[in-house]
Structure 1
Amino acid sequence: MSQSFIFDMDGTLFQTDKILELSLNDTFDYLRSLNEWNTVTPIDTYREIMGVPLPKVWEALLPNHSNEIREKTDAYFLQRLVENIKSGKGALYPDVKEVFSYLKENNCSIYIASNGLTEYLKAIVTYYNLDTWVIETFSIQHIETLDKSDLVKSIKKKYSIKNGAVIGDRLSDINAAKENDLVAIGCNFDFARDDELSQADLVIDDLLELKELLPKIGE
């Protein structure tokens, strides 16, 4: 029986941490140049909410700013992220390509479902040639509700997925799996939280563990 694997991007496949602080500092320097910010960059606050859609990020980081400023900030942040990816300052997690190759060799289908925006995801997929293994990459940007569960539901429907798993590091990934009758695999990586991982069906500390879990997921 063929299986489908839907991977989160940030904190699961891509080590967002490597460009996060850099891009966020660039962005808040931009806000300072506009006299819209006069204190330290709120990196710790962003880490706490990592994984939510960007519009909600700016509501949290810029609660007293207008929507216009938030939109300008969002656009600038995206620009800095993409430029940092294209200049090679980011990195995939170890063994991503090895695991993808293994899954493909075992007739598994691979998709990406992310809260990241389309342009950002395209930069990562293109730079690391992930299209070699990934059938399609989906952004939350195309789901009106901005809900990860709805995004996974749309993938299931488009590709008639019956069996498989959602692999991610945050509760939104775990909920997306469970609400769509898929196995929830939690990644105990950089942004993961113990209280969220406890709700996953399986937890891994390294993507290579997916090789050993493949038979179990198919049961």
Structure 2
Amino acid sequence: MLKAIIFDMDGTLFRTETILERALDEAFERLRREGQWQGATPIDTYRNIMGMPLPVVWETLLPHHETAVREATDAYFLTRLVENINNGNGALYSGVIALFERLNNMGYTLFVASNGLIPYLEAIVSHYGLNRWVTETYSIEQIDTLDKGDLVAQIVAKYDIQDGFVVGDRLSDILAAKANGLIAIGCRFDFSQDDELKQADHIIDGLAEIPDILATRHVSR
């Protein structure tokens, strides 16, 4: 039977803050030039909602703007994120590559399920060569409901996963695990919130702790 681990991307594998502020400020500078925004870039507000689907993000950051403005800003923000990744301005969390190699040797099949959009995820996977270990990367764009539980369910159904883990830093990851009968590993990283993490089955402060958790949990073969 497949031994699977499904990873979130932002704030779990990829240190989003390394490109986030730059790309967000570029997007809001564009809004300022167009007379659509005054004042500072709302970076703190965005940090509080990291991990939410982007339509929700822009409804929160631009609550009084028309849908067309939000969509245009979203598209520009995405291009800036991808360009920053391709220019080498981003970074993975410490130990990602070593962890993936070890999990591969342990016989685990790895997936990514993210609220990020497809071009953004493809840029990260390509730039860092993660497809050497990741079987398939899933974006919330692939699910009409924009519900991460439904996204994980798609992976579970396609690969007949009956036991496994979801690793992520936000409540959506934890709930997605529980909705699909999987074990939730919460990451106490940059964007995590303690009140959300307490609902996880395990909490880690670094990715290197994952193999120890796997050693104590017997995933059916």
Please name the residue that 1:140 is paired with: 140
Q: CA separation in 2, counterparts of 1:213 and 1:198?
A: 16
Q: CA separation in 2, counterparts of 1:44 and 1:206?
A: 24
Aligned residue identity for 2:80: R
Q: CA separation in 2, counterparts of 1:2 and 1:54?
A: 32
8 Å Cα contact 2:174-2:184 kept in structure 1 = yes
Q: CA separation in 1, counterparts of 2:218 and 2:90?
A: 33
Q: Which runs of no fewer than 5 residues in structure 2 stay unpaired?
A: none
Aligned residue identity for 2:40: V
Deviation by residue 1:148-200 (Cα, 9 ceiling, x = unmatched)? 00000000001111111000000000000001000000000000100001000
TM-score normalised according to structure 2 size: 0.98
**1:167-182 equivalent positions in 2, closer than 5 A:** 167-182=167-182
**1:97-176 equivalent positions in 2, closer than 5 A:** 97-176=97-176
Give the C-alpha shift of residue 2 in structure 1.
4.2
8 Å Cα contact 2:2-2:161 kept in structure 1 = no
Give the C-alpha shift of residue 214 in structure 1.
1.3
8 Å Cα contact 1:188-1:205 kept in structure 2 = yes
8 Å Cα contact 2:113-2:137 kept in structure 1 = yes
Q: CA separation in 2, counterparts of 1:89 and 1:29?
A: 19
8 Å Cα contact 1:165-1:217 kept in structure 2 = no
Give the C-alpha shift of residue 212 in structure 1.
1.0
8 Å Cα contact 1:183-1:217 kept in structure 2 = no
Q: CA separation in 1, counterparts of 2:211 and 2:70?
A: 42
Aligned residue identity for 2:65: H
Q: CA separation in 2, counterparts of 1:11 and 1:217?
A: 24
8 Å Cα contact 1:3-1:218 kept in structure 2 = no
Aligned residue identity for 1:156: V
8 Å Cα contact 2:4-2:164 kept in structure 1 = yes
Which secondary structure state, in structure 2, belongs to the residue aligned with residue 9 of structure 1? Answer: coil
Please name the residue that 2:10 is paired with: 10
Distance change in 2, residues 1:2/1:154 (3 Å) = closer
Moved over 4 A (4+): none
Please name the residue that 2:73 is paired with: 73
Which secondary structure state, in structure 1, belongs to the residue aligned with residue 167 of structure 2? Answer: strand
Q: CA separation in 1, counterparts of 2:48 and 2:6?
A: 24
Give the C-alpha shift of residue 211 in structure 1.
1.4
Give the C-alpha shift of residue 217 in structure 1.
2.8
Give the C-alpha shift of residue 13 in structure 1.
0.1
Q: CA separation in 1, counterparts of 2:25 and 2:154?
A: 35
Which secondary structure state, in structure 2, belongs to the residue aligned with residue 208 of structure 1? Answer: helix
Aligned residue identity for 2:218: G
Q: CA separation in 2, counterparts of 1:10 and 1:217?
A: 25
Deviation by residue 1:84-121 (Cα, 9 ceiling, x = unmatched)? 00000000000001110111101100000000000000
Aligned residue identity for 1:69: V
Q: Percent identity?
A: 57
Q: CA separation in 2, counterparts of 1:3 and 1:214?
A: 11
